[in-house]
């Protein structure tokens, strides 16, 4: 067992767990943060995306010990912020959500992108979302959603 201290959605958390346990399992099973989805389980689909110290990571292939001292943000934390609400509203308006399974990961990828590029080109948006699979929308509405969030959130990013 390892003792891991980190921050999750702004609150300090102490986790007692085998160090190689996936961050995904800790977030979902121990902490009830079920916005974090398991799709492929091997870093291919992005449904499990969270931010670690502001950077996008796949929680399905990240051992929990690797987040020691880190700051983790999931959709449950992001949606409480103005930035999070901006992306969520933009996604809703552009029809970026169909079945919804990929949506939390897409929103996190969008947030990571906008933190880095406040005014992304379409190409930058597509690269920013390139590790996230959606089997419903065909992506165009999601790309529009991120563009709308960038435009509407000027000053926020």
x/- string (CB under 8 A) for other proteins, residues 80-99?
--------------------
Shortest reach from residue 79's CB to other proteins, in Å = 20
Query: Phi first, then psi: what are they for 106, rounded to 5°?
Result: -65, -40
Give the nearer residue to other proteins in terms of CB position, either 37 or 94.
37
Q: Say how far apart CA 8 and CA 26 lie, in whole Å.
A: 11
Q: Which of 9, 49, 94, 103 binds other proteins (CB under 8 A)?
A: 49
Give the nearer residue to other proteins in terms of CB position, either 63 or 89.
63
118 makes contact with other proteins (CB under 8 A): no
Near other proteins by CB under 8 A, which window of 5-13, 73-81, 125-133, 139-147?
125-133
Shortest reach from residue 84's CB to other proteins, in Å = 18
Roughly what angle, to the nearest 10 degrees, separates helices 103-116 and 82-94?
120
Q: Token pair of 46, please?
A: 């992005």
H/E segment holding residue 16: strand 11-17
Contacts to other proteins from residues 16-45, by CB under 8 A: 18-22, 25, 29, 38, 41-44
Shortest reach from residue 10's CB to other proteins, in Å = 21
Cβ contacts of 114-123, under 8 Å, gap ≥ 24: 114/83, 114/87, 114/146, 114/149, 114/150, 114/153, 114/157, 115/54, 115/157, 118/150, 118/154, 118/157, 119/150, 119/154, 120/146, 120/147, 120/150, 122/147
124 makes contact with other proteins (CB under 8 A): no
Positions in the binding site for other proteins (CB under 8 A): 1-2, 18-22, 25, 29, 38, 41-44, 46, 49, 52, 55-58, 60-63, 65-66, 68-69, 109, 112-113, 127-128, 130-132
């Amino acid at each position: 067992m390892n003792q891991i201290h980190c921050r999750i959605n702004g609150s300090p958390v102490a986790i007692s767990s085998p160090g190689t346990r996936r961050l995904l399992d800790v977030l979902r099973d121990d902490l009830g943060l079920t916005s974090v989805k398991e799709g492929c389980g091997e870093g291919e689909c992005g449904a499990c995306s969270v931010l670690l110290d502001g950077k996008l990571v796949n929680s399905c292939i990240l051992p929990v010990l690797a987040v020691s001292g880190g700051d983790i943000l999931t959709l449950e934390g992001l949606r409480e912020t103005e930035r999070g609400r901006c992306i969520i509203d933009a996604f809703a308006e552009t029809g970026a959500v169909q079945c919804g399974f990929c949506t939390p990961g897409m929103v996190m990828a969008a947030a990571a992108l906008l933190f880095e590029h406040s005014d992304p080109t379409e190409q930058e948006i597509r690269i920013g979302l390139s590790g996230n699979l959606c089997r419903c929308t065909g992506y165009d509405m999601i790309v529009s959603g991120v563009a709308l969030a960038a435009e509407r959130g000027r000053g926020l990013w």
